[in-house]
Amino acid sequence: MIVSTLGASGCGPTLRGTVPSERLRDVVQRDTVPFANEALPAELLERLARYEVVVVGEYHGITEHDAFVGELVAGLHAAGFRNLLLEFPQAYGWLLDGYARGILDTPGEGALRTYGPLLERVRSLNATLPAANHVRVHAIDVNARDDDFLPPFRGLAHQLGLPRVLTEAIESIEAGAARDATLGALEAALVADEERLRGAWGEGGYEAVLALVEAERRSLEVRLFPAGRRRDEAREALMKALVDRQLARGSGGTVVNVGLYHAQKTRRDGTVAVWLAEHLVRSSPHAQGRTFVLAVVPASGEKVFGERLRSFDVATDSPANELFRIMREVVGDVVAFLPLDDELFSHERVVVNYLPRIDTEPPALVFDGFVLLPEVRPAGR
């Protein structure tokens, strides 16, 4: 197992003054909604349908997570949700969307490796719908490496018939010209010739090119920083801008699937002062007051921690009064949803095993609800 009972071993926070097992169990038994035959319960969909933005926080690299989010997107479609935003290099966004809408045969190996089950579920959903009702997929992360940009940019240029304004920029970058200057000149040319290019490429084509160029210019700024707090802050600022851009342009509800750190309403972990979810909940002009933050957490199975694949089980790795251990004991081997509505989740110290860190602060300050996956395995296994 990956951890011992941290509170008892003295390696984690003190458990003194935390909500006792019996009291926490009463709330969990009353409020937890188990999934029947893995179908999403109406209580979950009805709750989320009240909002315009649902942020889903994930532990990366878990196949069961992607399957759950795919069903969530499909389940919320009837409530008007039409957008899925993924933590993936922005330059690949047009490939993700084209694949999800059945226009392209592949989104690329990296996207299938990262989001294969999720993209397949959205693709199968869209195949049953008229184009006007398709779920659109967008990538909202920084292009973290120099070579994140050029391959998908070339591909998009090919899709548009290799227009000279794009091929000249590609040739210039390939010849070693300063990328920022080249992209700045291209962006100016796109804006100056907007009306003609929109007519030639279509609304979607023009917007895809412009968004890709703008995001790469911002990504260049992020890549100037070495790994560390400043780079993390710059990356998060770009993610906030890309999400707000999509919320401003899109119609219908939006699911935003990101890593658990990005999904914090109040910072408890990481180097960033204000994570994406806190921005959406508290300050985004497009999401403030209309966002629900859902953390999807595993109860047992195998997961990569650092560079090692390890097994874990909250039933043995957690203190007796830990929230996910009690949820698992109450619902058994099924997926379950727990909204954090009870006041104790907002005002009292609740033991939560975030694998491997044990936390004892009120969880509702960070998330609005949990979905517990009973057993997980690494993606691709």
Residue with tokens 């210019």: 217
Amino acid identity of 140?
I
What is the edge-to-edge ordering of all strands in the sheet holding 369-373?
33-34, 336-339, 369-373, 291-298, 53-58, 253-259, 81-89, 136-141
Q: How far apart are CA 372 and CA 336, in angstroms?
A: 5
Q: How far apart are CA 17 and CA 4, in angstroms?
A: 20
Nearest residue to 52 via CA among 286, 242, 259: 286
- pLDDT value of residue 356: 83
C-alpha separations of 80 from 76, 114, 133, 285 in Å: 7, 26, 9, 20
- pLDDT value of residue 11: 56
Q: How far apart are CA 164 and CA 200, in angstroms?
A: 12
Residues near 72 by beta carbon (within 8 Å), at least 6 away in sequence: 40, 48, 54, 56, 255
Longest CA span, the chain: 69
**Before 41, cis peptide (omega within 30)?**
no
Residues paired with 81 in a beta bridge: 253
φ, ψ (nearest 5 deg) of residue 115: -130, 25
The CA R_g of the chain, rounded to the nearest whole Å, is 22
Nearest residue to 337 via CA among 43, 17, 72: 43
- pLDDT value of residue 380: 62
The alpha carbon of residue 314 and the mean position of all alpha carbons in its chain are separated, in whole angstroms, by 24
C-alpha separations of 39 from 43, 75, 256 in Å: 11, 9, 21
Could you tell me the two tokens for 151? 């391959």
- Strands 81-89, 53-58: parallel, antiparallel or unpaired by DSSP? unpaired
Residue with tokens 């969909």: 45
Q: How far apart are CA 91 and CA 148, in angstroms?
A: 7
pLDDT tens track, the chain, 381 positions: 333 333 334 456 889 999 999 999 999 999 999 998 878 999 999 999 999 999 999 998 888 999 999 999 999 999 999 999 999 999 999 999 999 999 999 999 999 999 999 999 999 999 999 999 999 999 999 999 999 999 999 999 999 999 999 999 999 999 999 999 999 999 999 999 999 999 999 999 999 999 999 999 999 999 999 999 999 999 999 999 999 999 999 889 999 999 999 999 999 999 999 999 999 999 999 999 999 999 999 999 998 877 788 899 999 999 999 999 999 999 999 999 999 999 999 999 999 999 888 999 999 999 999 999 999 988 764
- pLDDT value of residue 8: 39
Residue with tokens 């090119």: 209
Residue with tokens 């989740």: 345
Helix (H) / strand (E) containing 26: helix 21-31
